[in-house]
Structure 1
């Protein structure tokens, strides 16, 4: 009886189980089987996958503490996600579980859902899509809950998540309205209240209502069950108070973050300390207390991951406190931590650059600005600001380098033989000490490498022995990468860079490469050890020819003049500018530098309030150079100005008008005259570029190319030099073609021209006037004429706007009978495209020698 009873029981249970699997029957057992299976199987695994994906988002997100933090840590990507694609497999898995729960366990009977877990399934579906950054599908899932399950216990969560999605879709105003309604209509508590108010705060932040955001964050901080969130919300509150300038309120909130200590991520506590220190009152605050706090933060072992930020703040404190040396030390310490915060690195480099700039160490400042740009987003606003600073330093670095080197050479030239020997003997002693130090260092490094190599081999031997015997490959030299690398380095040190070939030991087999070029350029590299430690070797390199010394002196003086102008005009560093001009005048400069330098000194004395020196400089200019434009300006300040007819600017404008009038030969001649006259003035590159353009118009492509190249190279750091470089790189390459286009390939836009050799300009103007009268009488065509200079000897009178080749070649047939006798000169037809080639390459003869002419 027992066996049949057991079998019947098994069959009955199986029948009940099968019956309960039906989603079409609204029975107690059906509802509960599907609900339990949904909750503890499908949704459980789905939420595990969702949490894994969410945690990976948090771990992969880097907060920017230089700006107000977002409420939620999630990196938004710009790329579009196509249907079926996903950024994170965990969210894909979570979505699949949600879909599976809906498809297999939904009990939609008579329009009503009987499985109480379906709202949870749709919530999981929306969250997985939200974190996968597919916000429109996520919004659909949340809206479905609100539409289909209005009595759900998850309805408030769904509403909050819907508004989170609206915020991500930039529907901030809509989110504010809906969240305010939710908070007004529902008595939210706990985490639901925290989520709603924190998202409302984010919407207020996005719409710039900072006060309202602070209020909501206060509610969220008190309501949340997560200390992680509480620390974040409090810290954001402090940032917002700082943004409003309420430092006391900000410090109170930061204190609350610090009190959380280990309950919240340590980065919030460290950042709160740093923000409080930034708010320190340097006039009335307790500096000893701040110093002790900074020391404690620095020495606490738990803070090691944040030393980059701590060192930076210590440096900033010392800088504000007037301790520049300590500040420099700690900024460099911050940089040596290999921080991943590129903004922090950029700020460290920028501040160090500014400190060197303020000390007039422009070369060092330029190097720091280069490093700053390397850590900024290319072409961002901060990048462009630093690049502008760096570009302004280019000329200073260049001319300071020339002045320094040439000053050193000239100083050696002026030393007596005994002083030279003494100088170089002192230098050689320093070289010997340095060489000994480098040799000791090299020996230590070699010993360390050898020991490292042996240790590696021994470790490998030991590991092989532990496996039951010695593997001979473990102790073979070439199977150990450390010893191989060491051997390669030793070979290069002893033998140099040599090609693998026969007779490789011969000295002639040394591979030159880049090093060879350095050897040729620098005679000290090729010097023997005996020569390097012989004072006479160095003395022999000092220039002795008067012409060479004079050239070095002139180059140095030009650098002094340029530096004086740059310090005065660009940086308003009047003391530096004054010293450069004064040094220039003491250095027996060329005549062309004397008067401009004295005038610039007069302006500098005025700017510095040194009225006595300004009066002396003014009187000297008026007495010694009465006919100069500077004397005119100083003698009659009420009548004269920098824009008088003899000023460089006025002369340039007058010359530009001549260029527009095609007086190219005179433009070239005058440009050369003014370039010499105003040599060293900032307007010289303008004359050079105008001259290059006139040369191109008069002499053609080849001459223009050379002239533009000269401007680009000689004035590389000026606006005109950069413009010339752009022309050379992007325009000249498009003008190289000098082959004419066949007439049958051109159907529209022709010209005709009359050629005149060495014409009298009055007669030429008379011819053009007559031609214009004739053109006015031609019916159906609106034709215009112009006088175009071709070269120094040839001028062309050109008729424009002829529609095609046939009309151009039959031009004489268009002229009325009474006008035929007025124009007796022969004419030539040409396509506009070919006319452009003729003017660019000055190959008119080649065109006229074509078969059709």
Structure 2
């Protein structure tokens, strides 16, 4: 027994002696190397791999844009040190225990484990590291910092390995990671130089070559050297040691060719990706979509349509149905099969997992189709839907759609006014008997529709019973009279209570004005509203009868006709619709204020068409409105041309000033506007010049000077848009 105790005591002393990190003995080196590799460092690598797996599985690529070569979204270059420790920590440095260790994100946990391995198990004796696992710990430390956006501390870790472990088996991997970190902080030239030296080494492992070429592509992409990006992506895709990264590289390569309109090369790359069975499915399905985008509109479209319809039927493709339906729609539209195209765009919108950005494209396609068909009202609704769904409203595409939607909004407003007022005025012009017949026909129609809907519900219950549904008693009663069928009777009773509420069995049970309980009062309101749909008087009393109301409808209708004529003429260049609205306006005897401009615009339209009808409207203006500016312009068109020319010249000057401002040449902007303003005389663009000058002053002078410049604009041009904007800015600055 004593011998066992002695052996145990000696073993304990032996273990304690081996724990020292300052003793260069075989036992010490082995103990710390094994403990580092299979305990602390192992847990850190597991956490790191979990973080990588999360990125690969959860990162959502925007396949409408050029996807990133490395799937990370960084918010900014953060260089703060770790929260749990400072620096690398030397041997024997204390470790701060984390209260929320379990809640640490994977990369932060990996970093913590790397720091722990360095602080507790580093054996730096006389300037030489005796623990062979410490270089792995530093590499894990640097990679973890890279993924938490602390690139400068990450580079410090990588540099430590390169300086102190030049012959380590992970030295090449470390150089690649250091280059990637340099790319992130815009040291692109340094990254390219170090990677070029690395790639010149003979007999590099395939994985290292693949990763180095991928990093080179990232560097050249940041420099917008697309030719070199494609070159290195080709080289990176020659092997497939990392199947996920190879798939991403192939997809980016195909996108770059597509952006350059090099359809043959893009098709080759995307087809290779489709055939790459080990690629993640999302890349393969989107490669199929890109193949369709790059296909010519010829007989091959039929084969593509068949291919996509098979993809749609595949249950595995449910998450991608919105994109697949959309692409079929574009193929059908390319074949001028517009009805089929609209059908598939709507399928795309109704797909269960439809993504917001995909919806914006489907809505835009539908809007463009209706716009092309001159159905501006429907097109306006679809453009509004784009703006409603879009998450990022600052892109050029969405801003362009927003401008188009604004132009269409006024058109849609006036079209709705015209349609509504025309309908009401048509009813006003009918006789009493005609109105009654019209509304009675409508009431009969909705009654029939309601009865059919109720019958459908009843049939659904009955058919359900016929196929085994319902209770045994209900099944025994099927096929008998309505009141003997338990299910049908129950449905009828429920429908009665839903409409009429709880009613006593008494005379005049339908009357809503007799004394009832409080519970019945609410039911009576609902019943009255429902029954009002079937009452002729409900509709007859809505028709206006007072002269003032009718005159208001006529005025609004005429104003809508005039505005629509101008919108179709000036904004949409739709001459037939412009003529139709303006001529109809003149046919209904509008107010005098509308007669002159309507005749003038019709004169302009027919003159541009070279139609002799222009003389008719010209004579009206010259005869009845000889003293107006419109008549003077008709008699002397050169005066209008001169005025337009002056406006164009001033606009060009403003463009120059604005270009200087956009180029951040603020002092030059102020000097240019100061010189130009005295030459503008009474131009309408003067407020724009002065406000731009104030903006430029605010960019390089003190706040007080900026406010003073804005006050000049606000005081000099209070009624203009620029004056109001200046006043609003002054209020904000003085808060």
Distance 2:574 2:256 in 1: 39
1:24 equivalent in structure 2: 22
**8 Å Cα contact 1:632-1:640 kept in structure 2:** no
1:41 equivalent in structure 2: 39
**8 Å Cα contact 2:117-2:134 kept in structure 1:** yes
Q: Secondary structure at the match of 1:280?
A: coil
Deviation at 1:269, TM superposition (A): 0.7
2:578 equivalent in structure 1: 577
Larger Rg over CA atoms = 1
Deviation at 1:554, TM superposition (A): 1.9
Which is worse superposed, 426-435 or 413-422? Answer: 413-422
2:406 is matched with which residue: 391, 395, 402?
Answer: 391
2:488 equivalent in structure 1: none
Q: What is the 5 A alignment of 1:433-512? A: 433-437=448-452, 439=454, 494=501, 505-506=517-518
**8 Å Cα contact 1:346-1:376 kept in structure 2:** no
Deviation at 1:508, TM superposition (A): 10
1:739 equivalent in structure 2: none
Distance 2:500 2:160 in 1: 75
Deviation at 1:602, TM superposition (A): 2.1
- Structure 1's 526 and 103: CA in aligned 2 closer, same or farther, altered over 3 A? same
Q: Secondary structure at the match of 1:611?
A: coil
Distance 2:519 2:20 in 1: 92
Deviation at 1:429, TM superposition (A): 2.4
2:313 equivalent in structure 1: 299
Q: What is the 5 A alignment of 1:573-652? A: 573-607=574-608, 609-623=609-623, 625-638=625-638, 643=643
Distance 1:630 1:616 in 2: 15
Q: Secondary structure at the match of 1:302?
A: helix
Distance 1:492 1:151 in 2: 87
Which is worse superposed, 417-426 or 136-145? Answer: 417-426
Please tell me whether residue 114 in structure 1 is matched to residue 115 in structure 2: no
Aligned residue pairs total 605
1:134 equivalent in structure 2: 150
Distance 1:537 1:723 in 2: 51
Deviation at 1:642, TM superposition (A): 8.4
Q: Secondary structure at the match of 2:276?
A: helix
2:215 is matched with which residue: 199, 203, 207?
Answer: 199
- Structure 1's 214 and 8: CA in aligned 2 closer, same or farther, altered over 3 A? same
Distance 1:4 1:730 in 2: 91
- Structure 1's 17 and 506: CA in aligned 2 closer, same or farther, altered over 3 A? closer
**8 Å Cα contact 2:77-2:150 kept in structure 1:** no
User: Unaligned stretches of 5+ in structure 2?
Assistant: 85-102, 464-468, 471-493, 503-514, 645-683, 688-717
Which is worse superposed, 532-541 or 335-344? Answer: 532-541
Distance 1:303 1:10 in 2: 64
1:563 equivalent in structure 2: 564
1:243 equivalent in structure 2: 259
Distance 2:275 2:346 in 1: 31
Distance 1:509 1:80 in 2: 66
- Structure 1's 732 and 34: CA in aligned 2 closer, same or farther, altered over 3 A? closer
**8 Å Cα contact 1:606-1:614 kept in structure 2:** yes
- Structure 1's 250 and 617: CA in aligned 2 closer, same or farther, altered over 3 A? same
Q: What is the 5 A alignment of 1:307-706? A: 307-339=321-353, 341-374=355-388, 375-437=390-452, 439=454, 494=501, 505-506=517-518, 529=531, 532-535=533-536, 538-607=539-608, 609-623=609-623, 625-638=625-638, 643=643
- Structure 1's 527 and 24: CA in aligned 2 closer, same or farther, altered over 3 A? closer
- Structure 1's 26 and 166: CA in aligned 2 closer, same or farther, altered over 3 A? same
Please, what TM-score do these two structures have when normalized by structure 1?
0.64
User: Residue by residue, what CA displacement relative to the aligned partner does 1:271-299 show, whole Å, maximum 9, x if unpaired?
Assistant: 111111001111x4522212211212211
Q: Secondary structure at the match of 1:222?
A: coil
User: Unaligned stretches of 5+ in structure 1?
Assistant: 449-453, 456-486, 496-502, 520-524, 645-682, 687-718, 735-853
Deviation at 1:434, TM superposition (A): 3.2
User: Residue by residue, what CA displacement relative to the aligned partner does 1:652-691 show, whole Å, maximum 9, x if unpaired?
Assistant: xxxxxxxxxxxxxxxxxxxxxxxxxxxxxxx9xx9xxxxx
- Structure 1's 386 and 493: CA in aligned 2 closer, same or farther, altered over 3 A? farther
- Structure 1's 213 and 362: CA in aligned 2 closer, same or farther, altered over 3 A? same
- Structure 1's 606 and 396: CA in aligned 2 closer, same or farther, altered over 3 A? same
**8 Å Cα contact 1:88-1:132 kept in structure 2:** no
Distance 1:118 1:108 in 2: 10
Deviation at 1:250, TM superposition (A): 0.7
Distance 2:296 2:315 in 1: 28
- Structure 1's 431 and 78: CA in aligned 2 closer, same or farther, altered over 3 A? farther
Distance 1:361 1:197 in 2: 52
Distance 1:75 1:249 in 2: 29
Distance 2:548 2:9 in 1: 118
CA RMSD of aligned residues (A): 4.0
Please, what TM-score do these two structures have when normalized by structure 2?
0.73
1:60 equivalent in structure 2: 58
Distance 1:725 1:413 in 2: 45
Q: What is the 5 A alignment of 1:778-789? A: none
Deviation at 1:192, TM superposition (A): 1.0
Distance 2:145 2:409 in 1: 52
User: Residue by residue, what CA displacement relative to the aligned partner does 1:419-460 show, whole Å, maximum 9, x if unpaired?
Assistant: 433322332222213333554578799999xxxxx99xxxxx
**8 Å Cα contact 2:323-2:358 kept in structure 1:** yes
Deviation at 1:252, TM superposition (A): 0.4
User: Residue by residue, what CA displacement relative to the aligned partner does 1:614-634 show, whole Å, maximum 9, x if unpaired?
Assistant: 344334544554444333322
Q: Secondary structure at the match of 1:236?
A: helix
**8 Å Cα contact 1:57-1:75 kept in structure 2:** no
**8 Å Cα contact 2:414-2:563 kept in structure 1:** yes
Distance 1:541 1:65 in 2: 53
**8 Å Cα contact 2:360-2:386 kept in structure 1:** yes
User: Residue by residue, what CA displacement relative to the aligned partner does 1:807-846 show, whole Å, maximum 9, x if unpaired?
Assistant: xxxxxxxxxxxxxxxxxxxxxxxxxxxxxxxxxxxxxxxx
Which is worse superposed, 6-15 or 615-624? Answer: 6-15
- Structure 1's 733 and 640: CA in aligned 2 closer, same or farther, altered over 3 A? closer
Deviation at 1:377, TM superposition (A): 1.6
Distance 1:439 1:137 in 2: 72
**8 Å Cα contact 1:52-1:90 kept in structure 2:** yes
Q: What is the 5 A alignment of 1:203-282? A: 203-261=219-277, 263-282=278-297
Which is worse superposed, 79-88 or 323-332? Answer: 79-88
**8 Å Cα contact 1:311-1:331 kept in structure 2:** yes
1:468 equivalent in structure 2: none
1:475 equivalent in structure 2: none
